[in-house]
Structure 1
Amino acid sequence: MDESFGELLRECRDAAGLSMGELSRRVNYSKGYLSKIENDLKPPNPTMAKLCDAALEAGGRLIEAARSPRTLDRRQVLAAGTMVGMALAAGSRPAFRPMLDDGVLDGMRASFENLRALGMRTSPVVVLDSLKAQVGTATALAVNSQEPTRSRLLLLAARIAEYTGWMSQEAGDDPGALAWTRRASELAKAGGDSEIESYAFVREAGLALYRHDPMSTIDLARQAQRVGHPSARIRGLALRREAQGHALAGDRYACDSAMDRAVELLSQSTSDNRYPVLGSTAPDPIGLARGWALCDLGRTVEAAEVLEVELARLPEESRRNRARFGARRSLAYALAGEIDQSCLTLAETLDDAARVDSATVRMDLKDLARTLGRWRGHRTVREIHPSLSRVLHRH
């Protein structure tokens, strides 16, 4: 694209028949600031670009123009999966084979479920060491077991490794998250199942989403729908992630289409008892994702309305989800210019955010802090700022 962002903004504003003052009112940025952007005296920021894109119905052109290209180097983590093959093919073997019955396997699974429940309401560093130890134990036992116990252990190890990747991301360790995700895929293949192998691409798409890389998010989510033999649930979760990628790119039609297909597939899904459920355990993961996507599309009033409804459905113990989507709700209110409501809802969210100590939640809180900073003289902003600052600098 030869034209600058400012030139494109002026072109879209003229096509929409809006004055600079009217655009300023709709996106809650000052007329002077927008004038500097339009005259290429200041660089655009992604938040301003998506709000202008929505207000001017630019179809994602402004979002794309403002986005800095980022790439994902997956080669650095591809070697992680070879660890599993080496362990299975040439791992050291003890002098005896432990006798494992269904009760032992059920106990190991229950232990993981307890750690996952703990991970929903506390810092990831509390559970990470135990999760890693469980993966190692289950893998070592699988090496020295016969079928069908061997496959059951490998599938359980794969599920624990997948969740370890998620907790690594929550702790701010993205390279570790990728490595554990790839290891989960290799363990699942060794156990004779492609379910987690497919879901691993959904997880990688999630990492790309948090890097604000829409093209990689969409591509990885689509790979999840093609790799192996994904179930209706995994395809639904992949489409959910694909929709969020389209929203990040500013493509409203593609986002809505993918979301609708995700709803249909998740309604058809059935439970698989071979290992604990993959993906979100929220009552309506699509509703939460839709609210998230509306915010990325610049439809901030709709986003806040949807997230209000969905947050009311989350159980009290689901602190991590409440913090994540609560922060996004407050951000939607702030971007819509509802500053008092943003601060009010943020006060409800900060305790959860402090307890779960999430690197990804802090990303949204930092965006929110920057947005509220434009109203730093506002009474409710001054009142909430010390609490918000403590959470952001707590890690």
Structure 2
Amino acid sequence: MGGCAPGFGAELRRRRKAVGLSLTELSAMLHYSKGYLSKIENDRKAPSPELARRCDSVLGADGALLVLAPGRRSYLRRRVRDDAAGEGLTDGYRLPDAAHSAARRDEAGCVPLGPGVTVTTLAAVGLAAQHDRTAAGFQAMFIQVRRLGMTISPALVLPILAAQIKVLRELASAADGSSRRRLLLLAARYAEYAGWMAQEAGDDRAAGWWTDMAVGFATAAGDRDLASYALVRHALIALYRRDACRTVALARRAQSHREVAPRVLGLAAQREAQGHALAGDYDDCQRALERARDLLAVAGPDGSGLPVLGSSTVPDSVDMVTAWCLYDLGRPQQAVDMLQQELARVPATAARARTRFAVRLSMARAAVGDLDGSCATAAGALPTAAIVDSATIRLDLRDLARVFARWPRHPAVAALSPQLGGVRNRPAPGR
């Protein structure tokens, strides 16, 4: 049986026949081969999570078929166990507090820098009386570094961020009052973005380290928003590891602190929706998306005067997240329609975001059988994917390659495969 879920194949056959579909017709609707589906129905192969979600959606099973899939059953067992225990699905996860984060620095409290990076001390530059003006300069630099991070390899951005974080820490240690708070908040923003760049460079451990450091800076400044947003960032790491339970758990924890800004709560609700979609929970996903939309609609400036947390390049993040959730929920045609619309709204300067969602649009097009369109979309995204050098985009490209593997003889797929392989198989920096 190969670890198959008992009953999935039989239930798939029963529901297919109940709606009057032949195996050939279901094959055409799902864009999987008849022979492959026959093996699923006869329990000779276990369904992938993607196929299970597609079958459930196409046959209108409302989750009754999906619940028999191996991954879904594991997810439900963890939810029942952890909810009963009051653990909120954390499965032992604990976000390090500020003191723990601080202890992970060296004895001098310095941020580790990359090879060859040097920083001039506060005493050398003589800025003790100019903290506010200096903070404004660092904020302007941060905006420029984030723009740079949209278009080049994260490995090139990280040393810049590390150097600025060290300087900001030195400046904050010599300041007091509102100047110290602003410098610490800037250091927190830099460190949070360094966490994202580390994840994009393929180093999840460093991503968590930088994010925890950001929490330490923000906590010292009396800001609680970043501590909750750090949970959203850790949830993203879990999402890319395909851990639906942990994604949902961390996103819910981020929403449990109602005193934080609506924007942070809205971003957390979006992440929760993505976790539910990964698990095939349509209703919970939609409820989380509605909550995200309501929260982000009322979110205003956080009062710090700093750049907003989270992406600022996607005009409607809820619609974009909804589009990808629909794909994960087995509704690829709806995903295609929304992704095309939203991708057209992302500015050309946001190369990383445009590439990410173009790859996802390619996957959705392949899932509905539009192989020529899928390959054309992917071909347009691959040159930029090589430049931005994103580990998370490479994960999506590997998923795309697995989708294309079902049609190795299709002319467009065969022509694209060498270029696709060259980008998706690039090793992460330092590995």
- TM (norm. structure 1) is 0.91
Residue 91 (structure 1) shift: 5.7
Question: Is the contact made by 2:289 and 2:318 (CA closer than 8 Å) also made in structure 1?
Answer: yes
Counterparts of 1:131-280 in structure 2 under 5 Å?
A: 131-227=161-257, 229-274=259-304, 275-280=306-311
Counterparts of 1:107-118 in structure 2 under 5 Å?
A: 107-118=137-148
| Cα distance, 1:230–1:333 mapped onto 2, change above 3 Å | same
In 2, distance between residues paired with 1:299 and 1:104? Answer: 50
Question: Is the contact made by 1:124 and 1:170 (CA closer than 8 Å) also made in structure 2?
Answer: yes
Deviations 1:38-74 (A, max 9, x none): 3332233222222223223344453773328699764
- SS of 2:347's partner is coil
Question: Is the contact made by 1:53 and 1:250 (CA closer than 8 Å) also made in structure 2?
Answer: no
Deviations 1:129-165 (A, max 9, x none): 1112222221232222211211111111111111111
| Cα distance, 1:63–1:367 mapped onto 2, change above 3 Å | farther
Counterpart for residue 69 of structure 2? 65
Deviations 1:100-144 (A, max 9, x none): 332111111111111111001111011011112222221232222
Counterpart for residue 59 of structure 2? 56
User: RMSD over aligned Cα, in angstroms?
Assistant: 2.7
Identity %: 45
The alignment status of 1:339 with 2:342, answered yes or no, reads: no
Counterpart for residue 306 of structure 1? 338
Greater CA deviation, 302-311 or 100-109? Answer: 100-109
Counterpart for residue 360 of structure 1? 392
Counterpart for residue 11 of structure 1? 11
Counterpart for residue 317 of structure 2? 285
Question: Is the contact made by 2:122 and 2:128 (CA closer than 8 Å) also made in structure 1?
Answer: no
Higher helix share: 1
In 2, distance between residues paired with 1:122 and 1:64? Answer: 43
In 2, distance between residues paired with 1:151 and 1:238? Answer: 25
Residue 205 (structure 1) shift: 1.1
In 1, distance between residues paired with 2:127 and 2:152? Answer: 37
- SS of 1:262's partner is helix
What runs of 5+ residues in structure 1 fail to find an aligned partner?
Answer: none
What runs of 5+ residues in structure 2 fail to find an aligned partner?
Answer: 76-89, 111-120
Paired AA for residue 365 in structure 2: Y
In 2, distance between residues paired with 1:234 and 1:32? Answer: 47
Greater CA deviation, 314-323 or 342-351? Answer: 342-351
- SS of 2:405's partner is helix
Greater CA deviation, 128-137 or 359-368? Answer: 128-137
How many residue pairs get aligned? The number is: 392
Question: Is the contact made by 1:239 and 1:259 (CA closer than 8 Å) also made in structure 2?
Answer: yes
| Cα distance, 1:106–1:322 mapped onto 2, change above 3 Å | same
In 2, distance between residues paired with 1:83 and 1:145? Answer: 22
- Which of 27, 39, 46 lines up with 1:36 in the alignment? 39
In 2, distance between residues paired with 1:370 and 1:165? Answer: 29
- TM (norm. structure 2) is 0.84
Question: Is the contact made by 1:7 and 1:38 (CA closer than 8 Å) also made in structure 2?
Answer: no
- Which of 386, 389, 392 lines up with 2:418 in the alignment? 386
In 2, distance between residues paired with 1:273 and 1:248? Answer: 34
Residue 11 (structure 1) shift: 1.3
Residue 216 (structure 1) shift: 1.0
Question: Is the contact made by 1:161 and 1:181 (CA closer than 8 Å) also made in structure 2?
Answer: yes
